[in-house]
């Protein structure tokens, strides 16, 4: 039981590496402790060790989901905490399987510094895609302010996770070897960090044209009243009022579902805004749901209004929030929950980029920013990235801070400026290095105005994505399979660390 408690506490400590705490070194301390527990426990306890590490990691790290389930679902703490607990247990099971598979590979002669990073990569990949994916709290995100962040434009956030686990495994091999660390281990550890620091000076993309003057508008309309019919017009007027002094900007952006109505319901208001944008020669983007005239399907969209109207429809929807999986079996649940705007369809994968005179925009909406393949698929063709979001669902919790950290990683991966307009924060302007240049205060109606520099060219990660990393992981696993150490005994605690 003591080991399980230690594992839980180590998992909880790892969350301090993520925003808003951003203490990136603590992630290595957490993983080293966890790996030492795995390597010194009997087989029957290993899955539980991983499960308890995950309970601390995800319980503390994504427990904020309870806020939205309670406030905007069924207002029962029994239900909201129950649903959140089930999600945390499900996510924790990934870590449990990581622990038991790692012990099995070590027992058959695999090297910790190969088996550990490859298996962690596998569980992060699984979390990203199984059951529509929930790739939150990837270890690589915790390093956005650390020396390993320089690898992100080359191998992406999952590649950075791979390096975090590799470094932790090398530290464990030094501890478990029982003698002075070999020059090879120390050389690898030092080399990883030194190269990371050196890569900070490497520019992956080039500037294109002059900087653009961008204004992001944050209306801070409370989520619990946002969709009430009586709030629609006051919401529009609030956004118009905040924007009034900024029509001399190159671009004005309103966040996801800034107008709480379908596009066809507010034609006159949109016509007035479009006329104003045309007169001032301002490019104007806003988030608004729409109904397709051809199919009648509903979309969560970004609309460009002015001389040239364009549309981007959200592609990766939030299950149980924007659409209902297995609708024929669970439609009664949505009828009971009565969640506003929860019957959306996914946008086409072949959508063209939003385009202004001389510039192209890689657009995404809210949750899409956590899926790197969705962003980098169009990043090479774009001059900068835009993400419209609504984190009001999660109140004053860790969620919005973690979401901003993820957006910073997308900017760094693709070497592009990213502007993030949100309903109540965290609205921010992020440069191509993933640094937050400006950030608006949370929960207040305000604006954020600043310059962004369009970029051209493509990072290594933009061009190739995660494929090289997956090939490398497969090669390392096969190489170690054919050149394994002798099989060791579980009970002896002797594993191939050398």
Q: How confident is the model at residue 494 (pLDDT cuts 50, 70, 90)?
A: very low
Q: Cα separation of 451 and 362, whole Å? A: 17
pLDDT digits (tens, 9 = 90+) for 23-37: 999 999 999 999 999
pLDDT digits (tens, 9 = 90+) for 102-130: 999 998 989 999 999 999 999 999 999 99
Mean pLDDT of 183-193: 90
Per the domain annotation, does 494 fall within a domain?
Answer: no
- Same domain, residue pair 214 and 339: yes
Beta-carbon count within 10 A of 380 CB: 17
Per the domain annotation, does 487 fall within a domain?
Answer: no
Q: By the 8 A CB rule, do 79 and 320 touch? A: no
Per the domain annotation, does 144 fall within a domain?
Answer: yes
For residue 248, the 8-state DSSP code is: T
Q: How confident is the model at residue 39 (pLDDT cuts 50, 70, 90)?
A: confident
Give, for 384, the enclosing helix (H) or strand (E): strand 384-389
- Please give, one letter per residue, the 3-state secondary structure of 148-214: HHHHHHHHHHHHHHHHHHHHHHHHHHHHHCCCCCCHHHHHHHHHHHHHHHHHCCCCCCEECCCCEEE
Which residue range is the domain that position 302 belongs to? Answer: 207-458
Give, for 300, the enclosing helix (H) or strand (E): strand 298-305
- Look at residue 41 in the predicted model and tell me its pLDDT: 66
Count of the separate structural domains present in the chain: 2
- Same domain, residue pair 434 and 475: no
- Same domain, residue pair 428 and 469: no
Indicate the burial class of 175 (C-beta count within 10 angstroms; 0-12, 13-18, 19 or more).
middle
Q: By the 8 A CB rule, do 138 and 15 touch? A: no
Give, for 305, the enclosing helix (H) or strand (E): strand 298-305
Mean pLDDT of 133-149: 96
- Same domain, residue pair 95 and 192: yes
Per the domain annotation, does 305 fall within a domain?
Answer: yes
**In the block, residue with structure tokens 């001399």:** 248
- Same domain, residue pair 276 and 314: yes
- Look at residue 334 in the predicted model and tell me its pLDDT: 55
Average pLDDT, the chain: 90
pTM over 0.85: yes
Conformation bin of residue 451: beta by default, left when phi > 0, alpha when psi is -120 to 50: beta
Q: Cα separation of 438 and 448, whole Å? A: 7
Q: Cα separation of 487 and 159, whole Å? A: 29
Q: Residue 276 is part of a domain; what is its CATH number?
A: 3.60.110.10
- Look at residue 377 in the predicted model and tell me its pLDDT: 85
- Same domain, residue pair 277 and 396: yes
Q: Cα separation of 392 and 77, whole Å? A: 19
- Same domain, residue pair 164 and 186: yes
Q: By the 8 A CB rule, do 92 and 134 touch? A: no
For residue 486, the 8-state DSSP code is: P
Per DSSP bridges, beta strands 359-365 and 354-356 are: antiparallel
- Same domain, residue pair 261 and 402: yes
Q: In the predicted model, is pLDDT for residue 247 greater than 50?
A: yes
For helices 25-39 and 112-129, angle between their N-to-C axes, nearest 10 degrees: 110
Per the domain annotation, does 170 fall within a domain?
Answer: yes
Mean pLDDT of 434-459: 96
Beta-carbon count within 10 A of 217 CB: 26
Per DSSP bridges, beta strands 206-207 and 455-456 are: antiparallel
3-class DSSP state of 249 = coil
- Same domain, residue pair 198 and 251: no
Per the domain annotation, does 490 fall within a domain?
Answer: no
- Same domain, residue pair 216 and 191: no
Mean pLDDT of 337-344: 62
Per the domain annotation, does 365 fall within a domain?
Answer: yes
Mean pLDDT of 263-281: 93
- Same domain, residue pair 193 and 259: no
Per the domain annotation, does 495 fall within a domain?
Answer: no
- Same domain, residue pair 348 and 229: yes
For residue 229, the 8-state DSSP code is: G
Catalytic residue positions, numbered: 256, 314, 366
Q: CB-based contacts of 28: which residues, under 8 Å, 6+ apart?
A: 164, 167, 168, 171
Q: Cα separation of 485 and 108, whole Å? A: 8
Q: Cα separation of 273 and 270, whole Å? A: 5
Full strand arrangement of the beta sheet holding 436-439: 354-356, 359-365, 384-389, 418-422, 428-430, 436-439
Per DSSP bridges, beta strands 446-452 and 212-218 are: antiparallel
Task: Locate all alpha helices (DSSP H) within 108-151, ordered by sequence.
Answer: 112-129
- Look at residue 343 in the predicted model and tell me its pLDDT: 79
Q: How confident is the model at residue 159 (pLDDT cuts 50, 70, 90)?
A: very high
Q: Cα separation of 390 and 372, whole Å? A: 19
Cis peptide before 192 (omega within 30 of 0): no
């Amino acid at each position: 039981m003591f080991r399980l408690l230690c594992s839980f506490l180590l998992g909880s400590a790892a969350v301090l590496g993520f925003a808003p705490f951003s203490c990136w070194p603590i992630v290595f301390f957490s993983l080293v402790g966890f790996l030492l527990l795995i390597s010194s426990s009997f087989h029957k306890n290993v899955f539980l060790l991983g499960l308890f590490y995950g309970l601390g990691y995800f319980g503390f790290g994504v427990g904020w989901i309870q806020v939205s389930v309670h406030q905007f679902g069924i207002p029962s703490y029994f239900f909201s905490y129950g649903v959140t607990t089930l999600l945390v247990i499900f996510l924790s099971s990934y870590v449990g399987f990581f622990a038991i598979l790692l012990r099995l590979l070590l027992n058959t002669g695999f090297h910790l510094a190969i088996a550990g990073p490859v298996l962690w990569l596998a569980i992060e990949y699984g979390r990203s895609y199984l059951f529509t994916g929930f790739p939150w709290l990837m270890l690589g995100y915790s390093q956005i302010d650390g020396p390993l962040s320089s690898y992100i434009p080359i191998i992406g956030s999952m590649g950075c996770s791979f390096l975090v686990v590799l470094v932790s495994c090398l530290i464990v091999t030094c501890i478990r070897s029982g003698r002075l660390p070999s020059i090879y281990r120390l050389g690898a550890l030092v080399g990883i960090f030194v190269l990371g620091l050196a890569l900070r000076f490497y520019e992956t993309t080039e500037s294109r044209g002059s900087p653009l003057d961008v204004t992001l508008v944050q209306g801070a309309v409370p989520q619990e009243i946002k969709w009430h019919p009586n709030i629609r017009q006051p919401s529009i007027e609030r956004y118009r009022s905040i924007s009034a002094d900024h029509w001399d900007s190159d671009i004005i952006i309103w966040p996801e579902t800034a107008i709480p109505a379908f596009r066809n319901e507010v034609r006159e208001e949109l016509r007035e805004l479009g006329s104003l944008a045309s007169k001032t020669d301002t490019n104007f983007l806003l988030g608004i749901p729409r109904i397709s005239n051809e199919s009648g399907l509903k979309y969560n969209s970004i609309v460009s209004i002015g001389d040239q109207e364009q549309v981007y429809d959200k592609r990766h929807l939030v299950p149980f929030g924007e659409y209902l999986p297995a609708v024929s079996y669970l439609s009664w649940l949505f009828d009971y929950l009565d969640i506003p705007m929860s019957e959306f369809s996914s946008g086409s994968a072949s959508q063209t980029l939003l385009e202004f005179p001389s510039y192209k925009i890689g657009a995404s909406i809210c949750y899409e920013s956590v899926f790197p393949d969705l962003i980098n698929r169009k990043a090479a063709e774009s001059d900068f990235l835009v993400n419209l979001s609504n984190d009001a669902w999660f109140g004053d919790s860790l969620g919005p801070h973690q979401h901003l950290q993820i957006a910073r990683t997308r900017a760094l991966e693709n070497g592009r400026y990213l502007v993030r307009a949100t309903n109540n924060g965290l609205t921010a302007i992020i440069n191509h290095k993933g640094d937050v240049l400006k950030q608006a205060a949370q929960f207040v109606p305000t604006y954020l105005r600043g310059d962004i520099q369009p970029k051209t060219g493509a990072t290594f990660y933009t061009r190739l994505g995660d494929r090289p990393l997956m090939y490398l992981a497969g090669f390392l696993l096969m190489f170690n399979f054919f050149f394994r150490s002798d099989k060791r005994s579980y009970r002896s605690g002797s594993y191939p660390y050398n």
